[in-house]
Structure formats: C-alpha cells, structure tokens
Amino acid sequence: MLKTTISPIILSFAGKPKASRFIFQAFNKVVLQDTTPSARRNASTNLTTLHQGPPTSAYVHLPFCRKRCHYCDFPILALGTSSSSSNVYEEGKEDDPRITNYVDLLVREIKATRTDFDANPNLETVFFGGGTPSLVPPKLVSLVLETLTLNFGLTPDAEISMEMDPGTFDGQKLKELMDLGVNRVSLGVQAFQDELLKACGRAHGVSQVYEAIEFVKECGVENWSMDLISSLPHQTLDMWEESLRLAIQSKPNHVSVYDLQVEQGTKFGNLYTPGQSPLPSETQSAEFYKTASSMLRGAGYEHYEVSSYSKGDFKCKHNLIYWKNKPFYAFGLGSASYVGGLRFSRPRRLKEYTNYVADLENGAANWCGTGVVDLKDVATDIVMLSFRTSKGLDLKEFGEAFGSEVVKSICKVYEPYVESGHIVCLDDMRREVMSDEVNTLVASDEAKIENHVRYLRLKDPDGFLLSNELISLAFGVVAP
Amino acid sequence: MGSMYRASKTLKSSRRAFSVLSNSLKSNRRDPLCIGLYQAYGFSSDSRHSSKEPTIDLTQFPSEKIRNFSIIAHIDHGKSTLADRLMELTGTIKKGHGQPQYLDKLQVERERGITVKAQTATMFYENKVKDQEASGFLLNLIDTPGHVDFSYEVSRSLSACQGALLVVDAAQGVQAQTVANFYLAFESNLTIVPVINKIDQPTADPERVKAQLKSMFDLDTDDVLLVSAKTGLGLEHVLPAVIERIPPPPGISDSPLRMLLFDSFFNEYKGVICYVSVVDGMLTKGDKVSFAASGQSYEVLDVGIMHPELTSTGMLLTGQVGYIVTGMRTTKEARIGDTIYRTKTTVEPLPGFKPVRHMVFSGVYPADGSDFEALSHAIEKLTCNDASVSVAKETSTALGMGFRCGFLGLLHMDVFHQRLEQEYGTQVISTIPTVPYTFEYSDGTKLQVQNPAALPSTPKYRVTASWEPTVIATIILPSEYVGAVINLCSDRRGQQLEYTFIDAQRVFLKYQLPLREIVVDFYDELKSITSGYASFDYEDAEYQASDLVKVDILLNGQAVDALATIVHKQKAYRVGKELVEKLKNYIDRQMFEVMIQAAIGSKIIARDTISAMRKNVLAKCYGGDITRKKKLLEKQKEGKKRMKRVGSVDIPHEAFQQILKVS
C-alpha cells in the first residue's frame, strides 16, 4: 500500500527545539503529491505537523510508594510501610531525604530543559503521576510547580491533576495541595473489597477508601476521578458490579477502569497466567469490561476512551493531549515525553536518572531525544491513539496528511468488521454510515472515501474489547 | 518422510590437488552452482592436465578393453564404501583423502544420504591373469540415483552399462530395494555380479544371503563374491570378476556416431555438461552434433572423461563414457535418454527415450505473498539443474500467486521443497500433494486433474467414472509383522498380488496400491508398525477406476481452494473430519466465530467451530508512554503477516503445513 517509493524530504520549520533538525520520511507518492508546498506551509492544521509545536502539557513523575503493588511494573521507589507510625499521613515526611533529594533532582531537570521554540506558550495541563504523588509533602510539590511556572509559564486555568492513594493524605494535606493549584484528583481506589485490595498488595483497605472520598468531598474538589481495576485475582462479577455501584454512588465526575495487565517480572506475572484461575477467564474478563461500560453509561458517564469515562465536561484534558498525538513534556524517573515528534523515555533507575540530569545540565544529554521522525510512525501513532477514543479516527484529517489511498486501504481492511459491528463508520454529522454503503464506496472508483465516511471508531464495547486486533490490522496497511 | 525411500549414496572422492580451492569455496557449497564451479576450476587448475594437450590417450582402449558397470544396492548396504575402495584400488582417488560423501554436493544429499544427481568415474586398471601379461582396462563406474522416483533416470544410467554389482549386506540380506534394483538391471539385460558385503560383521550370515539370492533371483551361489569393503577382505576379486564376467560394450566402431545422453548438470561457466555413453562410432572435439528428441544441434566445445573430475581427452571412442560441453544454456535442452549423433548423418535413435512422467503435484506458494518474485527466481534457478520438475503458474484465492509443480515422485517433491528453502532461503507453503486423476462426465468429456481446486465442486454434468494412478509396491519384512502390514495395506485400499517367504524369517509382499494412498505417510506408518524392519519400494503401475470425490474445506461458508483434496469416497468422511480437527487446532480465535466445514459438493460431511475471541485490549497507556504498547501492536501486525487471509479468516502458515500431513 504505502511502500511504492520512499523519498526523504527535509523540512525545516519554525519553532524547532534546540539543536534538532528533523528529517521526515514521506512514505509514498501520494504523500508527496498531497504535500504540496502550500500544504506544507499551511502545516499548523496538518496531522503530520501537529507534534512540531511547543508542548503545553507536562507530565511529572513522583515515584514514591509505601510498597509495590503486586501488579505494578512502573518505575517506583518504595519507602516501606510504617505500620508503627501513629499517623499514616505523616509518611513521606518533609525531611525524608529520599524525597527531598529526588525533588531536588526533578527541579534541576526542569530547569535544565531549555527550549528554543519561537513561541513559548504557557502550560495548560500538568499531571503528577507516580508512584503515589500524594506521599510527597505539599511543600515539595509547590517547589515543582513553581519551577514549572518559572521555566514554561502556567495558565491561570491550567488543569493540574494529581494521583492520590487512599491512606496517604488527609483533608489538611489535600487542602494544602489545592491551595498550590492542584485542581483535579485521581483517586486510586481499585476495588471496594478488602480481600481484593489485600490480594493485589495495595497499602490501604476499604475503610481508607471511604475516608479518602470523604476528604475529597469535604475539600470541595469538583474535578475528581476514581480508578478501578477489573479482572483481579479472585474477583467475581458480583464483586465487580458492587465496586461499580459504589463508585457511581460516590459521584466522581470521571472514572477510569483498567483491565488488569499481568506484566512480566511482577509478583502477579510470576504467580498467574492470564485467563487462568484465580484470574478470570477471557470470557469473564470481557464480561467485566462490558458490565463497566453499560453500568457507567447507564449512570450518565460518557465512555470517551477505552478505559475512561466522564460526566459532562470533565474529560481529563491532560490525557486528551495524548490521544490527540499532541506534544508534551515529561520530567522525572522513567517518564516519557513527546516533543518534536520524538518519544523519549528517561532512565528508570535512580542512579542513571541522576547521571542523566547531570548530563543535561552540562549539555552532554538531550532532553527530548534524537533521531529521525518517520512519517509512518506518526501515522501509526495517530491510528493507535485515535482508535482509543470514542471520537475515533478523523479520515479527512488523516487523508489530508497521509493520502486518500491509505484511507481507502484502511476502510477496505475494516470492511468485514464494519459488517460485524466492531467498527462504526460516521459521516460529517456523526451519523452512522451503514456497512453496505461502505462496501459500495470501497468497491467504487471513489477517490476520497473520507468525503462520505468522515470518522471510523471502535464500537463500544465490542470494538474496544478487540482494539489490539483491530488497530494492528490498520497498522498492516498504514505501515506494512 | 522420504529419507529412507530407496536411495543410494554417491561415490566418494578425494581431490587433493584442489583442496585449497575447495576450502575457499566452502562457504558457497550450499549453492548447487558451485558443483560446476569446483569442476570448472578443478579442470583447469589440475597440473596433470593443465596443458591443452590431452594426456590420456583413449585410443589405447578399444571396446574389448572397456567395461561399463554400476553398483546397485539397498540403502546402507555399502555401495559408497565399495565404490570408494575400487577407486582407491585403481588410483583414481588417493586413499585416505576422501571426504565422507564428498560428491554428494547438495545439502539435501548429504543430509539424507541419498543421490539425486548421479556421479560417474572412469578408472584405469591393470588386469593380471595368471601366466599372462598384464593388460590395461578402462572401467567406467556409472553411479545411479537410487530412488524409484528417479527410476527412469536409473534405467537410462543402467542402459549405459553392460553389468552391475548387486551389493547385499551379509547380515540384513535381500531388501526391497535390492529386489527393485535387481529387476531394473535384469530388464536392462545387464550381467549381474552378486557381492555380499560386510562379511566381517559378527552377525554376518553369508550362507543365508546366498540362499536368498538363489531363491529370489536364481543367482548361482558359486558366483557370489564375499567381501568386506571396510576391511578390504576379498576386494581383490571384484575387478577381475567385472572384467571376466561383464561383456565389453557391443558398439560398432566404424558406424556413424550414436551416443546416449544419460545425465546432465549445469555449470555456471561452461553451461550444461552432458554425460554421454558412446554406443557407436567416435566423437572428437569440434564435431557438430544433433540431439534426436530435442532436435537441437551444437558444436562440441570440450570432450573428456570423469577421472573423477572432468578431464579433457579431445575424443571419446566406441564404448567409452564421458562428458561433452556444447554451450547448451539449460538442462531443459538435455533430455535424459536422448540420442546424440553427428549432424547431417542419419541414425536410428537409441531405444527407450520417454518424456518425463509427473506423478505427484503440489502447489508452491511464497509464505509471504510479497515474495512471489523471489520464489519465481528460486524455482527458475533450481529447475535449471533439475529439468524433471514441471512448473506452471497458478493462482489461489487463499494463497495468491504461486506455481503448480509436477514431480517424479514423493522424494523428488520433498527434495525440491527442501532445496528451495535451504539453498534459496525461500519460505514456501506447499499444498497437499495430489496425484493426477482423470474424471469422465455424462456428456462424455474427460478432465485431467492435477490440482483438486480445478475440479468443479458442483459440476454441470454428472461424473460417470474416475481413475487414479496406482503403484506396485514391494515390501520385505520379518514375518512377525505381516499381520499389521497386511492391515495397513488393506486400509490403504491395496490389492495383494504376492505373499512369499524369502526364508524362514522374512516375507516378501507385493501389493497394488493407489498412489494417493502412499503419497503422504505410508512409509512412516510402515516403519512405525514394523519397528523399522520393513523395507519398501514401488514402481508405477496403471490407472484404475475408483470412486473419487472432492472434499472442500469451507471457512465461514467460503471454500478454501488450497485446502481442497480428492479422496476415495469411502475415506471422505474420515479425511473430512481429520482436516476439520487439524484446522481447528491451528487456526487462532478470530474476532468472530469461525465455522469450519468439510463438504462433498453441497453436502456437509464434518463441521466444527472456533469461538470468537473475546478480548484483546490494552487498558492503559500510562503517563502517555505508548512505546511499549505500540511495540506490542507492531508485533501483532507482524504476526498477521504470517497469516493467509481467506475472506475474513486468518490462517497461519503452520495450518497449511499440518494439513499436508493428513492422508
């Protein structure tokens, strides 16, 4: 499909990050034809150039946890549980050198990130992820935010999210964080059953969950999300329905539902095999996903992304940056940034990360990665990320960027799945285009199917459930 | 399958003079073209023959001083070792310098211990008969590919001989290939010199073997030579027996030139090298010759003998065996069995030329659809050196563009597939092997079917008759396994033709079997039920009327052309059920339910379903780090590439390979 000719074109563009010149590999004639000079100059609206501008989002990794959960393979630093401590909320004390040293490093990393974009827009979203960011003393969070503001600027109405775990904060701490500007809380509840929380090595019980919800409410956090995990070991459909019911009763305006991913090297990875007891079978697991979709949508949530549900306007703005393939900064251990079309992951080990920050300061390391931006990668990123959302893939934009032939190929490979109902086709007005009409379009000489089918999206829940299969099919035609 | 079909090892040879060269070429040895390369270089760099002047004077060897013979034996009865010893004895090769299976140049030959291409060597021998002066003889040892697939080539090679050493293992006795080879030689009117080999073994029982030779072939027990090629025991009697008992070639030296073309191979530098036996007259370098069957004419650019390398002599005389180089471009022009004569003369062609008969057909497709060009190129190169494969382009809805290849037999097919993969690195999918069938319809038309897909599933006219090829199989086995083997043969629709005791322990069975029934796993099955003690061989027999049906495999109602097969009606249900089961195991769950059916026409004879995949989703792209998830999706994409898509069902390559194993 796309492999007729590969001719590199060199684009230099305004607002490029320091010391980088990107070579774009156009991957077929169609691209070359469509990318006329005028189209290229008009780059701001094109998907292929979207990532070239300066980021307005930042991810900040705060890796501290009391202990590692059994399913977790993220870069974290376990502080150890202090069951002897009379006040659990005092864990992560201001003077814990492990935390202060890390935040010091983080601040140095942010400062060493010197961009040379022509325009330097303020940050519009900041996301504190972890780890358990709520373990970090507010004073240190404040230091990070100040540094970000100094270095990049921060809009007054920026969305500042923080992941918080029950049992790691109280009302006072939350209030302090809110005073610093944190205005969105992502509460890691995961389950409403003590036995399940214990089985997955969570450092809190159900009572702390209720307490935490209480703190969030009494502090008046309007924008908050609850995380739940499905397909945990020993989890039954009854338990899952109970968790969903109790989640809905707590009235968060955002819910994230994650299907347990058994990762190699984790405790679960060593103990369990996906689909085998005590983990639910593939069929049960699919049932959990469907139940979440129907219960949450029934309660008025919009299923706007594979694992995200929101009420009203409360989609996570920061995550939307990801799904739209827009650029973002990232700071901290193991964090991944996307700037200038390059994805770059920082070292996952503290020692190497420390060296990296030092290198950054003395100019020996690059803060956004190096390499060549391959248009095929951009195209597959867009396909993969767009299909995660309920909006789906905008074929018009995609066709403008990568050529109408690719659009036609995608439609062709999806024909059977439109018919089976895994893929939904929508027109400009987001009205459904029926499968026989799509078949006719694919079979016809129609050059631009995107004039008739504007969006493709995965059906909720059947299409979402098989998103890997469906997306990899599209990969097969976009980047064979 | 295949490695133990009647097969023979080729002559071994040492080539001290060229060892440096061959070392430097070792990395290229997988390339069959290097055969030619060795020989081309070997020829010109050999100091003995470096001058253009031929140093061997063939005129010293009139017909009566020539003996042409071959060695025939069951596999592992010691044919190669004996050939090595005879070449050492005559100084043709130096003792101790032989590399095991050196002349089995193709990787597949070395792995399987078989000969696909025959090798031939000329030896000079001083024969001393008591009280007489020693007299020089020219002996041509003409090797044959042992397997029955190549029986036509075997008989061509044998027709260049007047005699054969029939080698039998002193412990194992007469085996199926011994019988088959004996009759091939016998039918060619060759003088048989029986040799019982390996008499040094503790389990050797030459008397018993002598008795077998007497009862099976009516060979005089006094004529049997007892040797051990390994220790050299009795070896000194072999060549005198060859000279005494085998008659000299009968040709007429003052007749116009007639030569038999009995083998050919391709050399990158010289083009095609033809192995010839001069029946009448003589040939000199520069002569213009014509080929009777192909109608082509060429100038003889080089002529010589295999000693054992190509050694230029400038001429070949009546009764002699050697090679000619004519600048011929492809072995397709060199038809085995063809008669070569001097251009502008008129001769009676030598008897026995037959066009190649293809008995087994299989579709060959690139595993990755985009590799068609690579496959096409590889097949072209391979057939350049093996003209006996027929190749025709075909298209399958399931597998895309590919080729329908016709083979002489199963081993031939196997070897071809293996060479494609090993020597050309081409990953191929081959379809279920099929034999050529004939169908007759009620309107009187007949259809030859080499590809089951080409047989209409719901024909316009009724099929009134159908025929399938058969073989005559020879099985020799210890008597305790007879029951099991008779069951196997009757399960394979065999007709018993003969059942005799060779001696107290061994039984000789002769069956007529449909070729289709032995195409896939007959020999494996036979080996397993007889603990490896049975030997088996077969030869082509006539077509027989048979009640044949086409079994289609449908996935979600859509027939997969590459999986269709033709079977006897009685077996259709069993085969259909087996195919469905196999497919169920090898096709992964898809996004929707897959129904697998086997059908005869519109009648479903077996079915099963693969339930739909329920879930394959990555829940979280944590912190925007999508790289790992993307890698997974890329991997999944690559996995899909290794699938063939029929409708919306992805079939992994392995499924096609496994299906091959269903009889």
pLDDT of residue B6: 31
Tell me the nearest-neighbour CA distance from B572 into chain A, angstroms.
32
Interchain CB distance below 8 Å, B615 and A466: yes
Q: Are B538 and B474 in contact (CB under 8 A)?
A: yes
Interface ipTM: 0.83
Phi/psi for A276 (5° steps) reads -115, 145
Domains of chain B listed by start with CATH number: 16-245 (3.40.50.300), 360-433 (3.30.70.870), 438-546 (3.30.70.240), 549-659 (3.30.70.2570)
Annotated binding-site positions of B for GTP = 73-80, 143-147, 197-200
DSSP line for B558-598: EE-GGG-EEEEHHHHHHHHHHHHHHHHHHSPP-SS-EEEEE
Most confident of A9-13, A44-48, B267-271, B357-361: B357-361
- Tens-place pLDDT, residues A209-259: 999 999 999 999 999 999 999 999 999 999 999 999 999 999 999 999 999
A307 touches chain B (CB under 8 A): yes
- Top residue of A475, A477, A478 to mutate, by most chain B CBs within 10 Å, is A475
B364 in helix, strand or coil? strand
Question: Which of A127, A286, A343 has the CB atom closest to B614's CB atom?
Answer: A286
- Tens-place pLDDT, residues A71-84: 998 999 998 765 44
Q: Are A405 and A447 in contact (CB under 8 A)?
A: no
Question: Which of A321, A420, A466 has the CB atom closest to B617's CB atom?
Answer: A466
A464 touches chain B (CB under 8 A): yes
Phi/psi for B508 (5° steps) reads -110, 120
Rounded to an integer, what distance in angstroms lies between the CA atom of residue B571 and that of residue B587? 24
Quick check: bond before A278 cis, omega within 30?
A: yes
- Tens-place pLDDT, residues B583-639: 999 888 888 899 999 999 999 999 999 999 888 887 666 667 888 888 888 888 888
pLDDT of residue B147: 60
Interchain CB distance below 8 Å, A469 and B636: yes
pLDDT of residue A271: 93
Rounded to an integer, what distance in angstroms lies between the CA atom of residue A201 and that of residue A72? 10
Domains of chain A listed by start with CATH number: 57-323 (3.30.750.200), 393-478 (no CATH)
Quick check: bond before A461 cis, omega within 30?
A: yes
Confidence of residue B368 (pLDDT cuts 50, 70, 90): confident
A476 touches chain B (CB under 8 A): yes
Q: Are B110 and B80 in contact (CB under 8 A)?
A: no
The pLDDT of A381-387, averaged and rounded, is 95
Question: Which of B624, B633, B640 has the CB atom closest to A328's CB atom?
Answer: B624
- Tens-place pLDDT, residues A97-141: 999 999 999 999 999 998 878 888 999 999 999 899 999 999 999
Interchain CB distance below 8 Å, B618 and A467: yes
B531 in helix, strand or coil? coil
Tell me the nearest-neighbour CA distance from A37 into chain B, angstroms.
31
- Top residue of A128, A232, A305, A468 to mutate, by most chain B CBs within 10 Å, is A468
Relative to beta strand A342-345, strand B297-299 is unpaired
Interchain CB distance below 8 Å, B623 and A330: yes
Which A positions 397-426 lie with beta carbon below 8 A of chain B?
Answer: 416-417, 420, 422
Interchain CB distance below 8 Å, A472 and B614: no
Rounded to an integer, what distance in angstroms lies between the CA atom of residue B410 and that of residue B416? 10
Q: Which residue has the higher pLDDT, B20 or A266?
A: A266
Residues of chain A found within 8 Å of residue B592, distances taken between Cβ atoms: 420
Confidence of residue B129 (pLDDT cuts 50, 70, 90): confident
A309 touches chain B (CB under 8 A): no
Per-residue pLDDT for B5 more than 50?
A: no
Residue of B nearest to A377 (CA): B630
Residues of chain B found within 8 Å of residue A127, distances taken between Cβ atoms: 623
Q: Are A301 and A292 in contact (CB under 8 A)?
A: no
Q: Are B473 and B510 in contact (CB under 8 A)?
A: yes
Interchain CB distance below 8 Å, A345 and B620: no
B123 in helix, strand or coil? strand
pLDDT of residue B463: 94
Per-residue pLDDT for B84 more than 80?
A: yes
Question: Which of A385, A467, A475 has the CB atom closest to B634's CB atom?
Answer: A475
DSSP line for A120-136: -PPEEEEEEEES-GGGS
B275 in helix, strand or coil? strand
Per-residue pLDDT for B534 more than 90?
A: no
Interchain CB distance below 8 Å, A465 and B618: no
B607 in helix, strand or coil? strand
Question: Which of B615, B618, B625 has the CB atom closest to A345's CB atom?
Answer: B625
Least confident interval from A79-88, A445-454, B275-284: A79-88
Per-residue pLDDT for B103 more than 50?
A: no
pLDDT of residue A108: 97
pLDDT of residue B151: 65
Question: Which of A74, A321, A416 has the CB atom closest to B648's CB atom?
Answer: A416
Phi/psi for A155 (5° steps) reads -70, 150
B443 in helix, strand or coil? coil
Residue carrying structure tokens 């049932």: A287
Rounded to an integer, what distance in angstroms lies between the CA atom of residue A218 and that of residue A202? 24
Q: Are B267 and B324 in contact (CB under 8 A)?
A: no
pLDDT of residue A10: 32
Tell me the nearest-neighbour CA distance from A91 into chain B, angstroms.
24
pLDDT of residue B521: 76
Confidence of residue B179 (pLDDT cuts 50, 70, 90): confident
Interchain CB distance below 8 Å, B615 and A259: yes
Relative to beta strand B135-142, strand B437-441 is unpaired
Per-residue pLDDT for B1 more than 60?
A: no
Q: What is the four-CA torsion angle of B563, B566, B569, B573, rounded to 10 degrees?
A: -10
The residue length of chain B stands at: 663
Rounded to an integer, what distance in angstroms lies between the CA atom of residue A50 and that of residue A373? 13
pLDDT of residue A34: 35
* Tokens found for residue B527: 């080996």
pLDDT of residue B332: 80
Relative to beta strand A64-65, strand A77-78 is parallel
Measured CA to CA in angstroms, residue B208 lies from A385, B173, B204 at distances of 80, 8, 9
Tell me the nearest-neighbour CA distance from B79 into chain A, angstroms.
53
Interchain CB distance below 8 Å, B618 and A261: yes
Rounded to an integer, what distance in angstroms lies between the CA atom of residue B328 and that of residue B298? 8
B157 in helix, strand or coil? helix
